[in-house]
């Protein structure tokens, strides 16, 4: 079995900013309400899942310093593929000049954590360079007459490159799903995003806390051993509550939510890149990734940083 580590990362956000103040003129809401109840001030909107994924993937390839032709696999986490068929992964593969298999993985907002763990699994059986991208444009599915959902989401993407390591840096992981709660958050073909916000909130906190605890147990670590937690960026109150229950100070949580809103599969790698840009993560640090989303799905992974 071959170990893997993250050697490169990248991000992409559309240029167009949609602020809370902009939303005030579109629906009955206020900047103050949105900031207090969600922690979001503005989000970026526009682009395609493929174009954002290509930009983020390109950066990850360049940062890792690898030849695109040497990449062995592309995993694209998304729930807003450019088309129903084909998957968007092959479009991204082609534009990046990769010569490998490519597929879409749909676990909604947990998609990047699912992709990351799958990437480590593929690396373990010999895929040497695995590019994992999370990219979504959920704003194109929003009903801007529904203030319960339209204020929350933004568009964006993030990517990481996995390459061989002497021992794996994935210390613990957990994935979960519960399809009996699929009615809480969904998009029908041709429809808008629908959500029961309060119930999603409750499930999200419980699922992330339980999952993180399982990953910590598997890794033989205590919450104090976590240097940085990189959670899915959905609502600052969800992050506050999950961190408090886990016993991890909120100051250790990577956060981009105020500027991006919930970018679905893009959110965890966007938050990771922000924490790295701020020099929060040092070699040897234990980094806890966690996400939850429609399905419901959830997951967590602990990586010892070795970039
Ligand atoms: N602006 C102003 N007022 C709003 C509003 C908005 N955008 N949205 C709701 N309200 C009002 C409600 O109508 C309600 O008014 P009332 O008391 O007069 O009936 C009041 O604010 C409280 O609404 P409620 O739905 O109880 O708010 P909340 O505190 O639960 O916040 C969410 C709503 C959606 C922000 C919150 O439930 C949430 O973030 N849930 C999780 C969603 C999520 O993370 N989804 C993605 C998962 S990947």
| Chain centroid to CA 82 | 18
DSSP state string for the chain: --EEEEEEEEEE--SEEEEHHHHHTTSS--HHHHHHHH---EEEE-S-HHHHHHHHHHHHHHHHT--GGG--EEEEE-SS-SSSSS-SHHHHHHHHT--SEEEEE--GGGHHHHHHHHHHHHHHTT---EEEEEEEEGGGG--TT-HHHHTTB-EEEEEEEEEEESS-SEEEEEEEE-GGGGGGEEE-TT--EEE-HHHHHHHHHHHHHHHHHHHHHHHT--GGGEEEEEE--S-HHHHHHHHHHHT--GGGB---HHHH-B-GGGHHHHHHHHHHHTT---TT-EEEEEEEETTTEEEEEEEE---
**Ligand 1 centre and the CA of 245: distance in Å?**
22
pLDDT along the chain (307 residues), means of 10: 91 98 97 98 98 98 98 98 98 98 98 98 96 98 97 98 92 98 98 98 98 98 98 98 98 98 98 98 97 98 93
Q: How far apart are CA 302 and CA 226, in angstroms?
A: 9
Domain boundary among 149, 165, 181: 165
156 and 221 assigned to the same domain? no
Per-residue confidence (pLDDT) for residue 167, from 0 to 100: 84
19 and 133 assigned to the same domain? yes
159 and 175 assigned to the same domain? no
Please state the domain count of the chain.
Answer: 2
**Ligand 1 centre and the CA of 205: distance in Å?**
16
Per-residue confidence (pLDDT) for residue 168, from 0 to 100: 83
Q: Is 203 a catalytic residue?
A: no
Per-residue confidence (pLDDT) for residue 62, from 0 to 100: 98
19 and 139 assigned to the same domain? yes
16 and 90 assigned to the same domain? yes
Q: Is 243 a catalytic residue?
A: no
66 and 156 assigned to the same domain? yes
Catalytic residue chosen out of the listed positions 106, 232, 235, 286: 232
Residue range of the domain that includes 216: 170-304
C-beta of residue 100 within 8 angstroms of C-beta of residue 73: yes
Domain boundary among 105, 140, 165: 165
Q: Please provide residue 145's backbone torsions phi and psi, each rounded to the nearest 5 degrees.
A: -100, -5
186 and 297 assigned to the same domain? yes
Q: How far apart are CA 61 and CA 83, in angstroms?
A: 25
Per-residue confidence (pLDDT) for residue 1, from 0 to 100: 64
**Ligand 1 centre and the CA of 20: distance in Å?**
14
**Ligand 1 centre and the CA of 168: distance in Å?**
41
Q: What is the domain-level CATH number for residue 297? A: 3.40.47.10
Mutation test residue for ligand 1: of 36, 148, 181, the one with most atoms within 8 Å of CB: 148
13 and 159 assigned to the same domain? yes
Catalytic residue chosen out of the listed positions 20, 109, 212, 243: 109
- 3-state SS, 268-295, equals HHHHHHHHHHCCCCCCCCEEEEEEEECC
> Measuring from atom 34 of ligand 1, which residue has the nearest CA?
197
Domain boundary among 123, 143, 165: 165
Residue 150 near ligand 1, beta carbon < 6 Å: no
222 and 136 assigned to the same domain? no
107 and 203 assigned to the same domain? no
153 and 23 assigned to the same domain? yes
Q: Is 109 a catalytic residue?
A: yes
Q: Please provide residue 121's backbone torsions phi and psi, each rounded to the nearest 5 degrees.
A: -65, -45
110 and 212 assigned to the same domain? no
């Amino acid at each position: 079995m071959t170990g893997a580590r993250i050697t490169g990362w990248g991000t992409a956000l559309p240029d167009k900013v949609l602020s809370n103040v902009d939303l005030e003129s579109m629906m009955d809401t206020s900047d103050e309400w949105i900031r207090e109840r969600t922690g979001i001030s503005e989000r970026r909107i526009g682009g395609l899942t493929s174009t954002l994924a290509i930009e983020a993937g390109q950066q990850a390839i360049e940062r890792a310093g690898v030849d695109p032709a040497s990449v062995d696999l592309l995993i694209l986490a998304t729930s807003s593929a450019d088309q129903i068929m084909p998957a968007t992964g092959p479009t991204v593969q082609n534009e990046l000049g990769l010569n490998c298999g490519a597929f879409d993985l749909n676990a909604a907002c947990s998609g990047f954590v699912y992709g990351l763990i799958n990437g480590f699994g593929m690396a373990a059986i010999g895929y040497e360079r695995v590019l994992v991208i999370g990219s979504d444009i959920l704003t194109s599915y929003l009903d801007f007459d529904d203030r319960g959902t339209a204020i929350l989401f933004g568009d964006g993407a993030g990517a990481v490159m996995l390459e061989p390591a002497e021992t794996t840096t994935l210390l613990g992981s957990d994935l979960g799903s519960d399809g009996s709660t699929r009615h809480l958050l969904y998009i029908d073909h041709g429809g808008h995003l629908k959500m029961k916000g309060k119930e999603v909130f409750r499930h999200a906190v419980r699922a992330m806390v339980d999952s993180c605890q399982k990953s910590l147990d598997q890794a033989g670590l205590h919450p104090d051993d976590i240097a940085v937690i990189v959670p899915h960026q959905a609502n600052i109150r969800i992050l506050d509550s999950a961190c408090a229950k886990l016993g991890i100070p909120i100051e250790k949580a990577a956060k981009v939510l105020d500027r991006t809103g919930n970018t679905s599969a893009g959110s965890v790698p966007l938050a990771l890149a922000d924490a790295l840009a701020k020099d929060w993560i040092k070699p040897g640090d234990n980094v806890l990734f966690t996400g939850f989303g429609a399905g419901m799905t959830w997951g967590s992974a602990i990586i010892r940083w070795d970039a």
